[in-house]
Structure 1
């Protein structure tokens, strides 16, 4: 770091301190890493030939000690030295050797850094070619096309997936978004460990956020809060604003679940600001969508509809049908709160059609829950009951406890209106157990209101 900042005296002083420490605890492998840093200092001093000699020795020692990352880093540094001395053909040969090792390790960050050096356009394009699978996979993930993403990744070899922390992480994201939470968590953990081994801090932090998202889907609010908070702090230190936005958005979801709506609005507002700095437009749209949900929970229906309309417009501008379906489902819930079941039915059905087209079983189940509530309000009680029972079964299969409990609460309300109070009470109690376990304070408050309504009806029914 000191060398990159031009603080050569500080760099020399710290290297001397390291050398003194090594005397007491010799370690040949770490000494090779120290030598690589010494070479960078020699380059800064203009001692090109000495730097080249040191780096060639480091490469030999790293290969003998089976330390491929150090070997690749030293080979990359050697390519810079060779280019600096005008030996461009040798420099490109060394860069190709470094690229081969970085590719085998799945060190995407290092590959990007290598390609960003002052090469001519043709050679820089050649170096970036190793990142092509990653670019395709990331585009599919950014577009929310998770089924296609898994199909694309399944065509890669198992070895390639496991070596690439980013491809591994995208695999985890796709599995979790499609309802396979166990697989999603496993791949996210592999990605986090691989990124840590490679020193890719940005990717490690993003993997932490994904682990938090999976924990949240499974109902572990405390665990999810820990992951999101830790990831957000580290992302802010690294000025990784896209990940800061993701974490803030997810912390807003937790605050909303806990009924702390002011904190949720603040979190979503921070997420939008971070996404704007990162230029991540889909993130901005998703946080606007979530902001609309919080406004709806507060009863600020005009603000909620304004945010939902903006989310739908964002989805159309992004040409993202998957997100458009989510935004339409969110707007349908606002229509329900406004007492407009027919409009809610229309928008929930449109969202459902898109999610079915995309084979997204998890979000399809959420659409069905909203549609069932709308049907119930429109007087189609039996259709609504049958649909809610199907949602409970699907959500249970997908290990989505919050969705299970929400559908149970909605079914309890419907059964109460039908007149089956014993069944309504049983269903409400089942929902309460899950909401209590999840710490979903806002949902518990809704259940309290439903219980009060049922108790009042029972009292009125007494002779």
Structure 2
């Protein structure tokens, strides 16, 4: 029997049969006369549908091989500008898959393309993505430099969409460093530009982030109003990743307001869409934030399992602040189980990471939960010490609801 026939008879789910499906898609693509953007989006969806995050090496390998063959067979004579767009698209796909080193390499190739003044808008976009990854990896100075260079390029070439994205990057930087006023100002500037351009995807993204900022300020109804505006935008354009992010943020706001049923429903929606989009980091974030739901019903076993799954993902991604958040939640689970020494070690690890990578909001949350651990253990002086540290940090980021909550805890121990 010829090798080709053997492969056709392989059971579904084997590596060879999966690759055969990619080859079948390539054959259809070659005869479809569809444009490049449409085919690239089809390929991304196929890659996610056929291979999950447990098959990461296969996912990346098949993705790379299929893109290469697609370009060779269907678009052998692409203009330079389109080739750079493909490189940028590859970087975005790698970022979604959690392959951050490969994403950075793809974006660097965009920056190296053409002369110094050529393809400025594409280079500006690449710099924003470089900044995002560097910020997630806690390389704050490099991230800020990338965002500033992106804004400079966007203004030089007069591309307003690129300018809006650069302001978004700067807002993200200031938000992560607890500079909420600066973050909001940059997101409002980005939103103003996006609305003038009638860019639905950008309007949704920036509106969602203004909702996140409102949530940190404890303005839950305002946050939910922003998310509602964002949903109406992302649903129009079938932006699954954007929809997953918005659902996730809505769930977090409902959880902060102790509205557990709504939180659980939106976390579930977010997780399904994050898997559909192939977003590894968002899946980990949803798992981690669902921990509070299981703790609320006393299911510490599932809560701890979700923490550990998220922690493994963040370590693999080299996402230090995600790792810090996972340790904080592990400390909370161990507190619920009265495993005091283990909880203490986890809180200390979380605080160490948040302090090292300069995230005052996350550090404040870790100190607060550490204080609650000491209170439950019957050590009021140790609890107050942690609450006072949390209070100073929450004041730094103007988290009004959290400030009130910490003051209430301190007063109860007075």
TM range (shorter): 0.7 to 0.9
SS in 2 for 1:429: helix
2:327 counterpart (360, 363, 368): 368
Is the CA contact (8 Å cut-off) linking 1:147 and 1:174 kept in structure 2? no
Deviations 1:31-57 (A, max 9, x none): xxxxxxxxxxxxxxxxxxxxxxxxxxx
Is the CA contact (8 Å cut-off) linking 1:325 and 1:354 kept in structure 2? yes
Distance 1:148 1:129, change over 3 A: closer
Is the CA contact (8 Å cut-off) linking 1:252 and 1:264 kept in structure 2? yes
Matched, 1:301 2:254: no
Matched, 1:357 2:316: yes
2:162 counterpart (203, 213, 228): 203
Matched, 1:291 2:245: no
2:232 counterpart (273, 277, 293): 273
1:381 counterpart (326, 329, 340): 340
Is the CA contact (8 Å cut-off) linking 1:196 and 1:204 kept in structure 2? yes
CA distance in 1, matches of 2:295, 2:404: 18
Report deviation, 1:376. Answer: 0.8
1:14-413, aligned counterparts within 5 Å?
125-127=78-80, 128-153=82-107, 164-413=123-372
Report deviation, 1:169. Answer: 1.7
Deviations 1:361-410 (A, max 9, x none): 22111111111101111111110011101110111111111111110111
CA distance in 2, matches of 1:176, 1:319: 21
Task: Provide TM-score, normalisation by structure 1.
Answer: 0.68
Segments of structure 2 that go 5 or more residues without pairing to the other structure are 1-73
For the pair shown, the structure with the greater C-alpha radius of gyration is 1
SS in 2 for 1:412: helix
Name the counterpart of 2:62: none
Deviations 1:62-117 (A, max 9, x none): xxxxxxxxxxxxxxxxxxxxxxxxxxxxxxxxxxxxxxxxxxxxxxxxxxxxxxxx
CA distance in 1, matches of 2:84, 2:107: 15
Report deviation, 1:149. Answer: 1.8
**Comparing 431-440 and 139-148, the one that deviates more:** 139-148
Deviations 1:217-236 (A, max 9, x none): 10011111101111111101
Is the CA contact (8 Å cut-off) linking 2:136 and 2:320 kept in structure 1? no
Is the CA contact (8 Å cut-off) linking 1:142 and 1:282 kept in structure 2? no
Is the CA contact (8 Å cut-off) linking 1:245 and 1:275 kept in structure 2? yes
Distance 1:161 1:334, change over 3 A: farther
Distance 1:408 1:158, change over 3 A: farther
Segments of structure 1 that go 5 or more residues without pairing to the other structure are 1-120, 456-463
Distance 1:147 1:451, change over 3 A: farther
1:436-451, aligned counterparts within 5 Å?
436-451=395-410
Report deviation, 1:314. Answer: 1.5
Count of residue correspondences: 335
Distance 1:382 1:123, change over 3 A: closer
Report deviation, 1:156. Answer: 6.8
Distance 1:419 1:148, change over 3 A: farther
Is the CA contact (8 Å cut-off) linking 1:169 and 1:191 kept in structure 2? yes
Distance 1:214 1:297, change over 3 A: same
Distance 1:443 1:161, change over 3 A: farther
Name the counterpart of 1:16: none
Is the CA contact (8 Å cut-off) linking 1:145 and 1:322 kept in structure 2? no
* RMSD across aligned positions (CA): 2.2
Distance 1:137 1:192, change over 3 A: same
CA distance in 2, matches of 1:130, 1:406: 42
Distance 1:167 1:298, change over 3 A: same
CA distance in 1, matches of 2:355, 2:251: 27
